[in-house]
Structure 1
Amino acid sequence: MRRKPRSCWLRADASAVQRKDFAGSNRARRRFFAASRRRGAARVHASRGIRLAEPSPMRRSMFEPTSKHGHLRRFARSMLVGILTLAAGALTAGAIAQAADERWQPPAAIAEAARAAAENAADGDAEVASIDERLKLARCSRPLDATIERPIERGRGTVLVSCSAPETWRLFVPVRMHNDVAVLVLARNVQPGEVLAADDVTLERRSSASLPHDYLTDGAQAVGLALRRTLATGAVLTSAALEAPEVVRRGELVTLAAGAGPVIVKSEGVALEAGRLEQRIKVRSASGRVVEGTAEGPGLVRVGL
């Protein structure tokens, strides 16, 4: 018996149903194979002793729907943990630093020992040179020993600070005294080359902290000497500012003296160069011979026989 052919509409509907069933079966197969692969990977990792990392609570909370208050509570907890961690670290670092500092002698204690020794040795207030804070000297188990190493003169000196136990060390500390001392100053304005007389200088009391190192304290140290540069009234006189006066000028007619005791031979000569007191200069004698002698005064040169 011959089958009756189906209508084209029925054949189209049947094809659509078959394609839909085939697509659905393909999706089901893909899901099945993906799940199988995941289970197989888990078994392989488990057999190798590897544990797959789980998402952290912070990462999981990013994807899970939570309330606004829950986010705030977690943020507050994280901030609290961070603050406590920083506080613990700071306390630990402070304890370590304090333990390390207790091993070394404080520079302030060394400076105080030097200051006390200087003030006991001289009048006035002592100023101690700054001690390097990086200096690492073992803490002394006994009181520090401080003695005057270089005598305090003109307001300056050196103190030796030492320790004998548990470790031996020594440190030289410069000191400077602050007190009023009598110094030599000018009583008038003086030009370079002028020879000082007794009326040109006077004594005044000045603070030693502001004085130069080579200041003068006696008029005899300056009278008869000449200034190297211009100084005003009240200027403190120093040895560097003075020099011997020029007693012989170049080309000047001078007296040559030779001999010692009661026998002295004198002659005339011409100075070939200028000379200050006690300075060696060359002189041409009356015979034309050039001799060398010492300028001992205005127009006077002493020569050897």
Structure 2
Amino acid sequence: MRTQLLLWISLISALASPVLAKTTADEIREATSSFLETFARAQADKGYQVTYEAGNIDSRLALAPCSSALDVEFTGDPWKSEHPSVQVSCSGERPWRMFVTTTVSINGPALVAARPLGRGERVTSDMLQTRSVVVNASRRGIINDAELVQGMVVRRPVNAGSVLTPDLLEAPDAVARGDHVIITARRGSFSVRSRGKALANASIGEQVLVENLASSRTVKASVIAPGHVEVPM
């Protein structure tokens, strides 16, 4: 009797095994690696070299089976971190998701200072060099187009060889304290111009106090171009 019971249990277990199938750690690791490989190939087409490694996944892990392909996506920005997390998820009948740590290194061209740069200097092409760096080692981003920074002002001292990041540079002042400027008062397509004097320094897009030379009134205006400000009418 006991032997027959054991046989029945074995038979039921065998029949149930397809139903109890699981998504294994190997499948999750393979999906993660495939996702990272696709990312690396896409960046290679843009001139970047990507090396990657998926983090450890417990080999004992067993999640609900997934009737469709596993979805994989970054949950962090790989361009701002060398250790972005990856989310692996299943959107099938028994949905689940889990996170996998990764190591991603993106190498590519970036502008570096060709010599020490002083605060307040205007950037010119001879101040810059292009060098291959680990792009995502800096959370502040990088700059790789010299045309974009020509004429920008250095905000604080930069050592020779340092990677230029957007926060190190700022737009030059479009108006300076005491400059005579053109004030445009605008409403829709109708506008009136007058002359004024800037009471502070400001760059394009910033607001500045301006004295209207005709009325002696002080108004707050937006800088729209060098020597030009605008106020709503």
Structure 1 length normalisation: TM-score? 0.51
1:148 aligns to what? 73
Amino acid in the other structure paired with 2:63: R
How many residues are matched?
A: 198
State the distance in 2 between where 1:274 and 1:188 align.
28
Cα drift, residue 296 of structure 1: 3.8
CA positional deviation for 1:281: 0.6
Q: Equivalent of 1:125, from 26, 46, 51?
A: 51
Whole-angstrom CA distance in 2 between matches of 1:273 and 1:229: 21
Instruction: Name the structure 2 match of 1:256.
Output: 182
1:177 matched residue in structure 2: 104
Q: Does 1:234 align with 2:175?
A: no
Higher relative contact order (CA 8 A, sep 6+): 2
Radius of gyration: which is bigger? 1
- Higher fraction of helix: 1
1:160-199 equivalence runs, <5 A: 160-163=87-90, 167-173=94-100, 175-199=102-126
Alpha-carbon distance in 1 for matches of 2:23, 2:181: 70
Q: Deviations over 1:47-72 (max 9, x none)?
A: xxxxxxxxxxxxxxxxxxxxxxxxxx
Amino acid at match of 1:114: T
Contact 1:268 1:285 in 2 (8 A): yes
The 2-side partners of 1:130 and 1:226 are apart by 45
TM-score of the two chains, using structure 2 as the length reference: 0.64
Cα distance change of structure 1 residues 178 and 238 upon mapping to structure 2, 3 Å threshold: same
Q: Which deviations, in whole Å up to 9, do the C-alpha atoms of 1:5-24 show, x marking residues without a partner? A: xxxxxxxxxxxxxxxxxxxx
Unaligned runs of 5+ in 1: 1-102
Rounded Cα–Cα distance in structure 2 between residues aligned with 1:221 and 1:292? 29
Indicate the structure with greater strand content.
Answer: 2
Distance 1:284 1:208, change over 3 A: closer
1:282 is displaced (CA, Å) by 0.8
Aligned residue for 1:114?
A: 32
Q: Please list the CA deviations of residues 239-297 of structure 1 after superposition, one character each: whole Å capped at 9, or x if unmatched.
A: 222222223333x1322232689x8734132x222212221111111121112222244
In structure 2, the partner of 1:221 is: 148
| Residues 154, 165 of structure 1: alpha-carbon distance in 2 compared, 3 angstrom cutoff | closer
Q: What is the Cα-based RMSD across aligned positions, in Å?
A: 3.9
Partners of 2:76 and 2:85 within 8 A in 1: yes
Match of 2:173 in 1: 246
CA distance in 2, matches of 1:174, 1:222: 35
| CA distance, structure 2, for counterparts of residue 193 and residue 108 of structure 1 | 55
Residue 291, structure 1, aligned to residue 219, structure 2: yes
Q: Is the 8 A contact 1:154 1:208 kept in 2?
A: yes
Gaps of 5+ in 2: 1-20, 42-49
2:67 paired with 1:139: no
Residue 130 and residue 185 in structure 1: after superposition, are their counterparts in 2 closer, same or farther (change >3 A)? farther
Calculate percent identity across the aligned residue pairs. 25
Q: CA deviation at 1:128?
A: 4.1
**In the alignment, is the contact (CA less than 8 A) between 2:54 and 2:102 conserved in 1?**
yes
CA contact (8 A) 1:140 1:164 kept: no
Counterpart of 1:222 in structure 2: which amino acid?
V
Residues 117 and 159, structure 1, Cα contact 8 Å, conserved in 2: no
Q: Give the drift of 1:229.
A: 1.1
For 1:265, what is the secondary structure of its paired residue? strand
Q: Per-residue displacement from partner, 1:94-137 (whole Å, max 9, x unpaired)? A: xxxxxxxxx99776874554233112222422244677x7xx96
Question: Conserved in 2, the CA contact under 8 Å of 1:184 and 1:216?
Answer: yes
Deviations 1:36-93 (A, max 9, x none): xxxxxxxxxxxxxxxxxxxxxxxxxxxxxxxxxxxxxxxxxxxxxxxxxxxxxxxxxx
1:201 pairs, out of 113, 122, 128, with 128
Q: Contact 2:80 / 2:137 at 8 angstroms: preserved in 1? A: no
Partner of residue 40, structure 1: none
Residues 165, 140 of structure 1: CA spacing in aligned structure 2 closer, same or farther, 3 A cutoff? farther
CA distance in 2, matches of 1:195, 1:238: 15
Opposite residue 139 of structure 1, the aligned amino acid is L
> Which residue pairs with 1:17 in the alignment?
none
